[in-house]
Amino acid sequence: PAAQPKETKPKAEPKKEAKKEVEKQAAKAEAAEEEEAPKPKPKNPLDLLPPSKMVLDDWKRLYSNTKTNFREVAIKGFWDMYDPEGYSLWFCDYKYNEENTVSFVTMNKVGGFLQRMDLARKYAFGKMLVIGANPPFKVKGLWLFRGQEIPQFVIDECYDMELYEWKKVDLSDAAQKERVNQMIEDCEPFEGEPLLDAKCFK
Q: Is residue 176 part of a domain?
A: yes
Q: Is residue 145 part of a domain?
A: yes
What's the number of domains the chain is made of? 1
Q: Is residue 185 part of a domain?
A: yes
User: Residue 43's pLDDT is what?
Assistant: 87
pLDDT 10s digits, 75-111: 999 999 999 999 999 999 999 999 999 999 999 999 9
User: Residue 164's pLDDT is what?
Assistant: 98
Q: Is residue 130 part of a domain?
A: yes
CATH code (residue 82): 3.30.70.1010
Q: Show the low-confidence residues of the chain (pLDDT under 70).
A: 1-22, 26-39
**Radius of gyration, CA atoms only, the chain:** 30
User: Residue 109's pLDDT is what?
Assistant: 97
Q: Is residue 3 part of a domain?
A: no
Q: Is residue 2 part of a domain?
A: no
Q: Which long-range contacts (CB under 8 A, 24 or more apart) does 40-48 make?
A: 44/123, 44/153, 45/151, 45/152, 45/153, 46/123, 46/146, 46/147, 46/151
Q: Is residue 12 part of a domain?
A: no
- Which residue range forms the structural domain that includes residue 86? 46-201
Q: Is residue 36 part of a domain?
A: no
